[in-house]
Structure formats: C-alpha cells, structure tokens
A = this chain, B = another copy of it.
C-alpha cells in the first residue's frame, strides 16, 4: 500500500481534524518514510481536494464548506442524468444484474459504516455510468462523488437517510429495467437534489 493510499484512507476516515495544519516532516515521521513520498502523496491529495495549501508554508485539512457542497451537488444534478442517459442504449441484463446485486448486498448488511455505504452507493451508480463508455465524463462524475465522500465520511447523517436512499435506488433500477429512461433520469436528479439538500442543511446547522 502506497503512502498516498494510506494518507487518503486516514483522511477519509476522519483521523485528521478539519483545519489541522500538517507539516511534511511530521507526516514523514508519523508514517515512517522520508519527505519525498510525502510530497508526492500530498500533492496528489491536494489536486483531489483532500488537502489544501495553507499560506506559503504548510498543508491543511480542509474544513466544511456548505457552499462547496452546494456547488458539487449542483454539478452532479446536471451531469449525472446526462451520463445515465448516454448509458441507456448500452444497458443489458448483465449490467442491470450487477447493479441489482450491489443493492441486494447493501440491503442484507445493516452494519455498514458511513464510508462503506458511500462506497457501495458509488459502486451502484458507477456500474450503470460505466456502460456509457465516456471516460472523461465518467471521471468527472467520479471525482465529484469522491469530493462528497469527504463530507459523508465524517458523520452519520447518511445513516438516517439510508433507507430512503435505498428505496430510490431500487425505483431507479426498476425504471431502467423497464426501459423508462426519461423517468429514470428524473428519479436520479431528484435523488441527487435530495441528498444535497440534506447534507447542506446538516452542515449549516452544525
């Protein structure tokens, strides 16, 4: 496992406090490596939004920004239905089956952490999106999902929301299975808007 992966995992699991300022030296000692791999990992994590620059010296763990979340969900609202529509013509029983399997495995297990729920969540949508065979658009949507993970991983909002979200997933998949692309796109957009509003309002009151 690379340092990049280890650091990212720890960030996802909330082992660093938002606002905390880190030093290359500290991280190097903490993870038992020299500063070179730390620099590499940090830069990569910066480009992905998991870390931000803190002045001219030091790297910071970003805090919670409701406006950022609003923007991300606004983008998702507009881009994901697009991608799903592009996938419509390529959907077949194998792909739909895989998506159903992912939902089933989520239904069975009630002991998932917020981070794990997020991962399964993305696995479900990604399974459908990938069928569109549009790597650039897919990569962008994936990036937006990962950004959301940063917020979701910290708290357990998603746990309350999980039942409803899961119902919507099933409804979405049903629509796709019945060839109702337009309806599926509407369900998807509502699904995203709902999640976004929930997260933003949670952040504003916290």
A residues near B, CB below 8 A? Answer: 36, 39-40, 43-44, 47-48, 65, 67-68, 71-72, 74-75, 78-79, 82, 134-137, 140
Contacts and interface: CB of A to CB of B under 8 A. Distances in A.
State how many copies of this chain the complex holds.
2
A72 B136 contact: yes
A43 B68 CA distance: 25
A198 to B, nearest CB: 18
A80 to B, nearest CB: 11
Contact of A137 (B40, B65, B74, B135): B74
Nearest to A48: B47
A71 B36 contact: no
Contacts of A71: 134-137, 140
Given A72-B136, A74-B82, 5 more contacts: A39-B40, A71-B136, A71-B137, A78-B79, A79-B79
